[in-house]
Amino acid sequence: MFLRLLFESFRRQKRRKSIAFLAIALGMSIATAMIAVAAGIGDKISQELRSTGANLVITPIEDTLDVNLGGVNLKPASSGAYVAESELPKLKGIFWGHNILGFVPSLTAPVTVTKNGKNTLVDLHSTQAANAELIGTYFAQPLHYGKQDFVTGARSVNPWWQVEGEWPHDYAEWPANQPPEVLVGKKVAAESGLSPGDEVEIAGKNLRVSGVLNTGGSEDQAIVAPLHIVQQLLGRPNAVDRVAVSALTKPEDAFGRRDPSKMTPAMRDRWYCSPYANSIAFQIREALPNVRVEQVRQVEQNQGKILTRISGLMLLLTLAALLASVLAVSAAMAATILERRQEVGLMKSMGASNTSVASLFLTEAGLLALAGGMAGFLGGAALARYIGSSIFGSSIEVHPVVLALILCAALVVTFAGSAGAVRKATQFDPAVVLRGDA
């Protein structure tokens, strides 16, 4: 009898049922979409913030002080220690290797750029004061670690570097047929009149300018060449004096700032397995001995601050949206049940108890909630994916756990919305309701 009532109620009241279903599905798709967006936005914005550049810097530990003045590092190339370039792919092998988005090694030497008639000479060991830097770096260097192949370099890690002309190739060897390509900084180009296609002479060797580099930073006053070319020019194979690392990190909190040497083993494990800048730095020091790893505080500290603000905002908006969809679903349920007073009156006059009326209505509500919640979840997931791909160019995936959450929420919300209305409907005197006086 109960099942028959239930079945007929769905079969005969298609309009009412579809209205309730629609309301639940809409409410739950808002909830799904907002939860997914709020959960995914941290990662997306943190990717955007990576355009502020590297957040960790590796330098050799027994290095002497930098003597950087007016954008030119005057520390001679011969002083100081080096990091071995061949060790760098190990960065991908640390515990949080997947969070290392890229790294840019560099080898720098002060140089003097002079003009000699039509030729531009770059002197590595001039007696005059240096007026520029020679920087060797990766542009888009393919590397592999274990079974992983990846490409890293300035083009991806420093997105604000703009090149007029062509980016140079990352040569593995000194090219045999034609002179290797280099970039000249904007200021150097302006002072020496160099433009793409011209040649410069560095330490007796000719190099071709492939483009003019504009960064708004110290590189404007530099000649930027492929790392292996600079290593050969300076006679320092495998040497790198600085590595800028761009890593996805978790904003630092009180726990992340603590000193790992003073932690209990369990806490230390938790600290080690969280992608804080400090714990990633710690793991890099484990992988590459004799290096100093510093967080670029301007980037790292502020990134956390901004991420917290944005996720906080999304969380509050999600709460407001959830509240609104709860109210919307409850109102819809209340409206559809209050309209069925006559039905309640009829059932009660034929001897149905309040409990059996309520259980019929609540079962109906439960079925609707499950169906609506499911449909809402699918709709919401599609919406979240669309928002992700249209704004960030990568979709926002919904965690399957959210489905369980949404189904529970749908049940709770529809029951809450129905309960009051059912109570009210059963309180009326059936005779009055059936007469049509209520």
Query: Which helix (DSSP H) or strand (DSSP E) does residue 134 occupy?
Result: strand 132-137
Strand 239-240, strand 119-123: pairing: unpaired
Alpha-carbon distance values, 284 to 107, 152, 277, 291 (Å): 19, 17, 10, 9
Q: Contact, 40 vs 396, CB < 8 A?
A: yes
Burial environment of residue 171 by CB neighbours within 10 A (0 to 12, 13 to 18, 19 or more): middle
Q: How far is the CB of 34 from other proteins (least distance, A)?
A: 6
Burial environment of residue 144 by CB neighbours within 10 A (0 to 12, 13 to 18, 19 or more): exposed
Question: Which residue from 132, 200, 321, 406 is in contact with other proteins, where contact means CB under 8 A?
Answer: 321
Residues 50-79 that bind other proteins (CB under 8 A): 51-53, 56-57, 64-70, 73-74
Question: Which residue from 314, 358, 368, 419 is in contact with other proteins, where contact means CB under 8 A?
Answer: 314
Q: Which is nearer to other proteins, 48 or 269 (CB)?
A: 48
Q: Which stretch binds other proteins (CB under 8 A): 5-13, 20-28, 227-235, 349-357?
A: 20-28
Residues 191-220 that bind other proteins (CB under 8 A): 215-217
Question: Which residue from 39, 49, 109, 134 is in contact with other proteins, where contact means CB under 8 A?
Answer: 49
Q: Which is nearer to other proteins, 143 or 306 (CB)?
A: 306
Q: Where are the beta strands (DSSP E) in 300-401?
A: none
Letters for 226-265 (x = contact with other proteins by CB under 8 A, - = none) are: ----------------------------------------
**Six-digit token pair at 125?**
């060991």
Q: How far is the CB of 48 from other proteins (least distance, A)?
A: 5
Residues 78-137 that bind other proteins (CB under 8 A): none
Q: How far is the CB of 214 from other proteins (least distance, A)?
A: 9
Distance CA 170, CA 180 (A): 9
Letters for 271-310 (x = contact with other proteins by CB under 8 A, - = none) are: -----------------------xxxxxxxxx--xx--xx
Residues 143-162 that bind other proteins (CB under 8 A): 158-160
Q: Which stretch binds other proteins (CB under 8 A): 143-151, 201-209, 320-328, 408-416?
A: 320-328
Interaction of residue 432 with other proteins, rule CB under 8 A? no
Q: Which is nearer to other proteins, 233 or 398 (CB)?
A: 398
Question: Which residue from 192, 210, 279, 336 is in contact with other proteins, where contact means CB under 8 A?
Answer: 336
- 113, β-bridge pairs: 122
Please state the φ and ψ torsions of residue 25, each to the nearest 5 degrees. -60, -45
Alpha-carbon distance values, 280 to 54, 116, 140, 223 (Å): 13, 49, 23, 32
Task: Give the binding-site size for other proteins (rule: CB under 8 A).
Answer: 75
Helix axis angle, 14-49 relative to 354-391, nearest 10°?
Answer: 40
Q: Contact, 293 vs 284, CB < 8 A?
A: yes
